[in-house]
Amino acid sequence: MNFISENTAPTAAIAANIRPFTDLTGINVNIVTLELTALVQRVALDLASGRAQYQVVYADPYQVLAPYQPGLVDLRALQADPNLPDLPGGVGDFIPTQLEAAGRFVDPAAIYTLPYDAPTMIWQYRRDLFDKYHGRMANDLGFDPTPGGDRTWEEYFQIAQWFNKNAKSDVAYGTGHQARQHDSLMNDFSNVLWSYGGEYFDNGKEVGRLGTRDPGPCRLDSDAAIAGAGFYNRLLGIADPASKTWDWDGVGAAFRGGRLAMCPNWHEYAASNEQVMPGKAGYAPLPKGPAGTANMYGGTGLAISGNTLPHERGAAWLFLVWATAPETQLANLRSKAGGGTPTRTSVYALPQVRAAEKRPSSMPNMLTADAVRQAWQADRIGLRPKIPMWNECNTSVFTQLSRMLTGATSPEAAMRSIKSRVDRTVARGWEA
């Protein structure tokens, strides 16, 4: 059996520990890992071929699930088959917002993937430096600078600016961002957009939660969206200039390298942070804006190709059950080869996992647990539009944002240009 995946930490852990599955089932699993864009192209070709070279698919909700849902198996039939093992804990053990965002599309009952990983953007900061300068910052700024969901984006800006001016002996810049002309820029910007009350489409939470094939007109020309873009442009104006060349790996390396006092980034970088600078990093939900707070969710589920032959579907289901089982997720947390954070509520309740939320931790990603628990709440999780034509829309978003950040266009003009381009993309996709 073949499993195609993005080259993620959970899949690295699975690949390093696949022997127990083979010993249990007799099934050999060949794991192919690719960069996400290459994976999407490979999956699209495989689904169009009518044959399943890859029986198990890492189905990104936006680039695989939404555009290719008709080519994926509704997993309810396999779950109900009395000849196949049931899911430990059932689907109810998956974190609800993740099951909806990663596992469903349009139909609120159908399940096309089982939540497999859960990267989520949070506030990562140098805890040692915030402790060192806390008194001075509080006195100079007039507020408690301790990172957390009660801080505002304006306060984040002021904290970053304070580090720029007052802590050059410790860090080069107060903040850094994943603002390269890339998917990373859309993710970084969206946190601010939503906190200012901006949305990509009407009913934005529903479009992100279950998805739709016809989202209607883009709403990035709203006053709230333009205000969010204006703040983001201003924030990047005081951030490390290299931010415009970084994706998530770039900003993560800069943070670990001691260049930044803080940054928004995916929570699963905690393991790398703790390996390089143990005890020096802290984790909190992202700041709030005038409309609240939002933390971009980037999780993905495992799907079964609809081209998979009937006798192979059972084998693929066995792999999905095993790969997302609580025991496997616990092993991934402990893995030296990688490992993400669990997508199952029951794993977070295990005593050894609860203990790992505090230092010294044998499962360093669990140091982010308090932050991500807040981030996954229904009113705080950030969900980009789950629509079949999102990939092309996303390109319009980060292309125009990049022009804004280089001064080639204003925030208002950038938002209006994105709206126009997205509307044309949606119209073509809906007609098709």
CA–CA separation, 432 and 112 (whole Å): 23
Tens of pLDDT, residue by residue over 336-355, are 876 678 999 999 999 999 99
| Residue 82 CB contacts under 8 Å (≥ 6 apart), including other chains | none
| pLDDT at residue 32 tops 60 | yes
The length of the chain, given as a count of residues: 432
User: pTM of this prediction?
Assistant: 0.95
Report residue 320 CA to chain centroid gap. Answer: 21
* The token pair that represents 124 in the structure block: 């990562």
Percent residues over pLDDT 70 in the chain: 99
CA–CA separation, 301 and 324 (whole Å): 9
Distances (CA, A) of 256 to 275, 406, 428: 9, 26, 43
Backbone angles phi, psi at 30, to 5 degrees: -95, 120
Q: Is residue 381 within 8 Å of residue 101, measured between CB atoms?
A: yes
* pLDDT band per the 50, 70, 90 thresholds, residue 430: low
- The C-alpha torsion from 264 through 268 and 271 to 274, rounded to 10°, is 20
CA–CA separation, 159 and 139 (whole Å): 12
Tens of pLDDT, residue by residue over 125-179, are 999 999 999 999 999 999 999 999 899 999 999 999 999 999 999 999 999 999 9
Q: Is residue 352 within 8 Å of residue 331, measured between CB atoms?
A: no
CB-hemisphere CA count at 13 Å for 402? 20
CA–CA separation, 98 and 377 (whole Å): 10
Count of C-beta atoms within a 10 Å radius of residue 80: 9
